[in-house]
Every structure is written in C-alpha cells, then in structure tokens.
Structure 1
C-alpha cells in the first residue's frame, strides 16, 4: 500500500513538473489594457531603451561643452643629456672647437594655465549646439515612443480582431456541423441531391481551414506583442479593452489637428532643431574670423640656466603671466566656401521644414478622411448584420422546406459572416486611424 502511495505521489510530481515546463498556467495569463501595454512598452521596448541611452550621451556631451569654460591647465617635464656643442669658427668645412660642458644633464618641469576671455563666442555656440542636439535627441525619443505606441496598438488590435474572428468562425463551424447533420439526414431520406451534401461539406472544410489561419494570425501577433512588452514569446496575453470605441466624441475638427501638429508634432520640432543647428554651424564659421583673447600663466623649474645671459650651470625657476591675443589671418580666404555651404545648408533645412509641414498636412488629411469613412462603414456594417441575420433565418427555413437552393443557403451564411467581419474590421480600422492622427500630432 505504501509503495502504491509513493508511486502515485511521484507520478503526480512528474506530471505537475511537465505542465509547468510545457504549458502556462491560468495564473500566468496577463489581462492587459492598451494603456497598460503602452506603459510596459515604455520600459521594455529595446528601441526606447536605445533612445534613452542616446539622451544620456547627449547630456554628457552638453556637460562636456560647458566644461570648456573652465581654465585649461597642463604640466610638462623632461630629462635628458646635452651633447657637446661644436662651434665652427672657420666655417663648417673646418674642424670645430667645442664649448666645454661640465654637466651634460638637462631637465625641466613646469605648469601652464590658460583662461579664454574671448574667442568669437565659440564656447557659447558649442553649448548652444549641444543643447539643441539634446533637444533633438529628446524629440527623436518622443517620435520612437509614438511609433512604438502605434505598433503596440496595431498588434493589440490585431489580437482583438483575430480573437473575434476565431470566435465567429468557431460559432459558424459549430453551426455548419449541426446543419450538415440535417442535410445528411435529408440526403439519406432521398430528399436532396448528393451535390447539396458535398457543397455543405466543402464549406465546412473551408471554414475549418480559415479557423486554422486565424489562429495562426493570432499567435503571430501575440508573439510580436510579447517581445515588445518584454514577455516570453508564447506568454498568454489577453487584451481586455472593448473593440468598439466611441470615436465620434473624441474626434476633433480637421483644422484643430493641423494646428496641434504645427505646435506639438515631433516631426515639426525636429525640423526646427535641424534649422537651429545649421544656423549655429554658420555662426561658428564666422567666429573663426574673430580674434582670440585669453589669460595665460606659466611657471617652470629648469637646469641649466640658458634662458638669460650670462648663462649659469645651475637650476633656475621662471614664471610668466599675461594676456595673449591671436588671430588666424588665413581664415579670411580659407573659410569662404565653407561659409557659403553653411548658408545654403540653412536654406535647405528651412525648405525641409516646409516640406515636412506639407507632408504632415497630407497625412493628417488622409487619416482624418479614412476615420470618417470608417465611422460611416461601422453604421452600415451594423445595419448589414441585422439584414444578413434576418436573411439567413429566412433562407434557412425555406431551404429545409425545399423552397430554396443549397447555393442560397450557403450564400446567406457567407453574407452573415462577412457582415460580422466587416463590422470588426471597420471598428479596428477606425481606432487605428484615430491613433495615427494622435501620432502625427505628437499626442500618442
């Protein structure tokens, strides 16, 4: 008895272990809203993580640019041996005489510092460029977040659509199976031809194939969404938002979307940042034609003393401080073409911004029109379902009373399923076009 009990416990342990490794339990299932999916994507999306690192790099570059205001301090030192010094008193072709050196050792250690007073505002321009690049990186991150949110919405709604399709097809398959039994009975009684039976069987097979395809689509979308959200590939994921959404109340006027896009769109802000960067590059080139003024100080400890006459075979210390002014004359003619190119780049970026605005207006108009189209199709599809249900009921009764053909029966079933599919597709399409409007206007 004890042996049997131990064997049963061991078998139960093996089966529970197998289930935990090969299957997901109900406790593992994640019921998630679209907003919850967006929040999780903000943390686990690799694309957003990369943009976060880019922003951190941009902040370090900004700190580096600001650090250039601090004085530049350096040290130097050397140690060596002096060679004998030949003096050619009678010319280089004659034998020289050598200056006697008692100690051939030479060494020097020093420190120097420089503080920039004026350099055509190049430091200030460098800081402005770093700040603008930091802003641009933030806009790029915001664009990536919007793109990821839209991608998550696509996958989330794709899962909802496939789930709804699977449910509809399963209901239709069960319905067709029951109807096939009735048709089989009519055929066995000699009431209908075998062609009716074959057509009913063919439609059932097609629906079972469609069911397999829809399940595959569902699993593919779930895997892609799981990856973005940081789950395992086949983690059970169930969207809990309603497919239907009252977009009519959320939808704004077309001009409102345009006005919002011109002020908050990531694309618009990125275009403005590129213009500012090109203008700063142009200013930086012009700054090269201005003088550079700085304070400097040097202090060194050297041996031997050959700096001032009379020379001495002894160590000495020397300190120098003052103001330094320099000017690069060659910049007057070397940078002429660079300045022309920089000016053209500014004009180009302004044209790119105008082109971006045109593209935004075009995309917003397209998404807005499609959204209105989807809302109309939802109303039509809702009415079509009511008509298709009534038509299917009538044809079903008339067929089994031998007043309709099998083609009429199958066509009525197909029309009902198509009307149900159309409603779901229109609801999904409307939400996607609404989210596209939010993405274009920088609100997603």
Structure 2
C-alpha cells in the first residue's frame, strides 16, 4: 500500500509537469534555424559588428588625411593708444605715433602634406589591419555563439530522447507488473516480487520527473541565447547522426592554420607590430608640404609704411623640416618597437602550438565518440538479449526477481548511454569545427 501511494503521488506530479508542457507555447526548430536566431539576437555579435564598423570608418578617416587642410578665419580688433614714456614710467608720456584703432582681417590658409616620412600610408595600413582584426573577432564570436547554441540545442535534444526512452520503459514495466501481479494472484510468485517491481517503477517515474525538469531548464537556457521567451518550449528536430568526415588530422590541422580565428588574430597582431616599428622609424624622416595663405585686411601692416586701407595678399610656398632631435629621442622607441615585434612573433609561434594541440585533442575526442557509439550500440543489443533471456527465465521460475530488475535497469542504462554517445559525437564534431574556424 505504501509503494502504491508513492506511485500515485508521482503520477500526479507527472501529470502536472505534462500539463505545464502542453499549456506552454512550443516552437519546433532545426539547428540552422536556432543558429540564425542566435546570431540575430546575440548582443556579443552586435558589439563586434559595431567594432568592425568603427574600424572601417577609421580607415576612411585616415584616407581623408591625404586631402589638404583648409582653414578660414576672421577677426575684428580694437587697439588702444600707444603712450611713450621717454623719461621712465613715472614721468609724463607723449603720443608721437598715429594709431589705427580698428583692425579687420578675413582670410583662408591651406596646407597639403606632400611627404611625412610615409607616416600616412603606414597609418592607413595599420587601420586596415585593425579592421581585419575586428572582422576576425566578429567571425570568432559568431562561431562561439553557434557552438554554444549547438551545445544547448543538443542538451535539450538529449533530455527529450531520455524522456521518450523512459516513458517507453515505464510502459513496458507497467505491462510487466501486470503480468507479475497475475502470477502472484495464482500463487506462482511472492508478494515481495510485486512490491519490488512497484518500487522500481516508482524510481522510473521519479527519474521521469527529473528529466522533465531538465527539459525545462535546458529549454530556458536555449531560449535565452536565441531570444525566445523563457516559457516557450523549443522542440528540436529528430536526431540525425553526424556522418564521419573522411579527413585526417593533417587535413584538419591544415584547415585550422588556414581558418582558425585564434591563429589569424595572432598573425594580425604580429603584422600590426611590424607596421608600428616602421612608424617609429619614420619619426626621423623629413617633412615636406605645400602651403598657401590668402587674406583681406584693414589696415595694411604687412609692409612699411603702413596704410589705413583695405588690401588683399596671397602667399604660397613649400615648407620642409627635418626633426634632428629624433636622432636621440627616437633611439629607445625603435628598440622598444623592435622588441614588441619579436615578442609578437614568439607569441604567434606559441599560438600555432596551441592550435595544433587543440585540433589534435578535438580530433581524437571526436573519433573516440564515434567508437563509443559503436560500443554503445553493441551494449544495447547485448542488454536486450540478456533482458529477454532473464525475463523468460523468471517467468519460467528459474531466476530471481533481482535478476529481472537488474536486466531491465541495464537495458535502460545502455539505451541512455547510446543516446548520450550520439549527442556527444555531435557536440565533439561542432567543437572541432569551431576550433578550426569553419563552423
């Protein structure tokens, strides 16, 4: 009676969870559709897109510096008288010069940089590298979001497969319980056998409650990353086992060195350090520019004698300079930039080693998961045959109830392991694709 009460209570809890799942809004999604939603919703991807747009504008801004600098200016000034103290500040002053008290000026000036040690070209080149860096980071973030989405999607898919398996197993156990009760009524088996089967059935139903809650938790995590409401239940499509990609480790490594985000980020950082060294070396180079100035002014005070009238004047010429002080100011800057480049080159080699290690590990784990699927399939076949033999033996009165229950548990466990192995293989596959940069 006690175990029956437990079963009734669990059945009520199950019914509550089932009604919640049916009442909630549901949506069926394929994994590519989940990826599309995650990419559209992800704030991290949006941040990297903004960063890429900013870097692109900075390239345009650097190119605009090729155009001349043009300024317009104007002024109106009032001048006071100019007292002259011939015998000191404390003696009376005299006024010997006529002062023009109001001065006007309006004009424009232009400067066109002709050569500045190639600094402008280097700045444009650096801006392009920084833009490429932001694009790689954007693609890396997109790939990471895709992998996170795939992991959550597969986790939800696994829980739903577990639910399907255990619901079928509960149905089989209930059918078996009815047969054992019939045998107990005819005095063939003991009452304790019925009670033990009822206890095992209640454990199955408690496990189903846990799996139902796992589904709700996994669905919420997936909803958060794809931008769906928390209450919506995502229904993954039917499981499709990933086919073995006929590539060797060397092929995957070559793909990683061609597409890996981490490798290319390190490569671009090295190129930026190389450009920075060239920029520092350019500090000592001469500067040459074309300048001009045109103005209207009143009074004329450019040439003596001055004239209280409007005049216009234009000036144009070349201006050149050599920063001689950079001979000693620039020495340690060049040394520091060279050391920075050497550091980035070493870091790039270190990143290459890490990429090789990550690809090797991900490749081996993926191959291992495929082997695990084969082992799990064989275990399921063995467990099914063992359960069939033990069931026949029990109902023939040649085995104990404990043997029957153990066989049923082993069968359910191997089916769980097979489903988990298939999901894990999918996960490892997408992880490998993420590492080599092609997800």
TM-score of the superposed pair, with normalisation by structure 2: 0.89
What per-residue deviation string (whole Å, max 9, x for no partner) do you get for residues 370-416 of structure 1?
11211111111111111101111222222233322222222111111
Offset of residue 103 of structure 1:
4.1
Question: What pairs up with 1:341-360 in 2 under 5 angstroms?
Answer: 341-360=336-355
Of 190, 199, 203, the residue aligned with 1:202 is 199
How many corresponding residue pairs? 421
> How much is the aligned-residue C-alpha RMSD, in angstroms?
2.5
Q: Does 1:45 align with 2:42?
A: yes
1:407 matched residue in structure 2: 402
1:383 matched residue in structure 2: 378
1:306 matched residue in structure 2: 301
Moved more, 344-353 or 395-404: 395-404
Moved more, 371-380 or 87-96: 87-96
What per-residue deviation string (whole Å, max 9, x for no partner) do you get for residues 170-216 of structure 1?
11222223333444455566655555444333322322222122222
Structure 1 residues 311 and 398: alpha-carbon distance in aligned structure 2, compared to 1, 3 A threshold: same
1:227 matched residue in structure 2: 224
**Cα contact 2:292–2:315 (8 A) shared by 1:** yes
Structure 1 residues 196 and 324: alpha-carbon distance in aligned structure 2, compared to 1, 3 A threshold: same
2:4 matched residue in structure 1: none
- SS of equivalent to 1:305: coil
Offset of residue 98 of structure 1:
3.4
1:172 matched residue in structure 2: 169
Q: Does 1:121 align with 2:84?
A: no
- SS of equivalent to 1:118: strand
- SS of equivalent to 2:171: helix
Of 19, 32, 37, the residue aligned with 1:35 is 32
Of 415, 430, 435, the residue aligned with 2:430 is 435
- SS of equivalent to 1:318: strand
Offset of residue 82 of structure 1:
0.8
What per-residue deviation string (whole Å, max 9, x for no partner) do you get for residues 26-57 of structure 1?
9x754332233323433333322222222211
Q: How far, CA to CA, are the matches of 1:53 and 1:314 in structure 2? A: 56
- SS of equivalent to 2:109: strand
Moved more, 322-331 or 160-169: 322-331
Structure 1 residues 360 and 343: alpha-carbon distance in aligned structure 2, compared to 1, 3 A threshold: same
**Cα contact 2:153–2:236 (8 A) shared by 1:** yes
Structure 1 residues 25 and 390: alpha-carbon distance in aligned structure 2, compared to 1, 3 A threshold: closer
Of 386, 393, 397, the residue aligned with 1:398 is 393
**Cα contact 1:160–1:243 (8 A) shared by 2:** no
Q: How far, CA to CA, are the matches of 2:392 and 2:90 in structure 1? A: 129
Of 102, 105, 110, the residue aligned with 1:105 is 102
Q: Does 1:328 align with 2:340?
A: no
Q: How far, CA to CA, are the matches of 1:143 and 1:72 in structure 2? A: 39
Structure 1 residues 25 and 49: alpha-carbon distance in aligned structure 2, compared to 1, 3 A threshold: farther
Moved more, 268-277 or 187-196: 187-196
Offset of residue 92 of structure 1:
4.7
Offset of residue 144 of structure 1:
1.1
Q: How far, CA to CA, are the matches of 1:161 and 1:39 in structure 2? A: 21
Q: How far, CA to CA, are the matches of 2:103 and 2:359 in structure 1? A: 76
Q: How far, CA to CA, are the matches of 1:184 and 1:80 in structure 2? A: 113
**Cα contact 1:34–1:241 (8 A) shared by 2:** no
Offset of residue 321 of structure 1:
0.6
Q: How far, CA to CA, are the matches of 2:128 and 2:186 in structure 1? A: 86
Q: How far, CA to CA, are the matches of 2:331 and 2:94 in structure 1? A: 54
Q: Does 1:291 align with 2:286?
A: yes
TM-score of the superposed pair, with normalisation by structure 1: 0.88
1:422 matched residue in structure 2: 417
**Cα contact 1:243–1:424 (8 A) shared by 2:** no
Q: How far, CA to CA, are the matches of 1:138 and 1:317 in structure 2? A: 52
Gaps of 5+ in 1: 1-21
Offset of residue 307 of structure 1:
2.3
Q: How far, CA to CA, are the matches of 2:186 and 2:435 in structure 1? A: 64
Offset of residue 322 of structure 1:
0.4
2:6 matched residue in structure 1: none
Of 72, 90, 99, the residue aligned with 2:69 is 72
Q: How far, CA to CA, are the matches of 1:185 and 1:264 in structure 2? A: 66
Q: How far, CA to CA, are the matches of 1:59 and 1:24 in structure 2? A: 48
**Cα contact 1:46–1:228 (8 A) shared by 2:** no
